[in-house]
Structure 1
Amino acid sequence: MSGVSDLTAHTGYWMRMISNAVSQDFARRVAGEGVTVAEWVFLRALYDEPSLSPTLLAEKMGMTKGAISKLAERLIEKGLVTRAEDEKDRRAHHLALAAEGRAKVPQLAALADANDAEAFGVLSAEERAELDRLLKALAERRGLSSVPTD
């Protein structure tokens, strides 16, 4: 016996296995709609707001302004997001969903729901609720607040 723990003895190993499978399946689903997971998260973050400054969007998503700017550029090029000058401060601007982006969010949300149902549908309702409770407790106790985008 070497005294070195086996990979499968780690909770993180099992979490990563499940996380990778769920994330990769979802990435394939949204890629079929022409977006990445990070772009989906960006679109969903804008969905409940008429518009947001890049700074506020970065705070909401737990990302840097630079990362938000890169995502915004890609989504503007795809016609899913618009950028408008701030009427009060011409140096600032706001991001909003374009009509096509607004229409796409419910479609992508349905894919997320289907992905979750497929991945976790093997659990009973009680097991699913307990898993959600434990994961949320871990995130809260560890102070994790950034939105996962990959």
Structure 2
Amino acid sequence: MGRSQRDGVPPGTDLTAPAGSTSVTTLTGPRDRTPDVRITLTAAHGKVTLGSGRRIDTLAFNGQAPGPQIRVRKGRLLEVTLRNTDVKEGVTLHWHGVDVPNAEDGVPGVTQEAVPPGGTHVYRFVPDRAEIFWCLTHRDSSQAIAAGSAH
């Protein structure tokens, strides 16, 4: 499943780098081999019930908050396709504690544009150590974390 460098980027945005520099969009994970693990995360508005019994709005991934566990062995290629169903603010994934190529980092306006409703973005990277990590959206992240959507 490929993607163009324009996925999730507003029309008219110039993705070219000045002469002698490198565009962040070229700093991706491996694109020349088949991933060892593939997963699709579908972002959508949802509801979650807190331990107190109170129901709150949340950003859910695959219908749950936090999203599903992703397991991949150190040194294996992971491919995560992010689909945005209805998050009008856009959505990205940022990988805490995982050293990823810059274009896979998911910080909107810096390393990636937010994925608009109906859009997708493909992240590909190879974890270089065995640990437990988490990811979250950095689009409206203070609100998203408060609503339980980090995973």
TM-score calculated relative to the size of structure 2: 0.23
Q: Which has the higher strand share?
A: 2
Q: Which has the higher helix share?
A: 1
Structure index of larger Rg: 1
TM-score calculated relative to the size of structure 1: 0.23
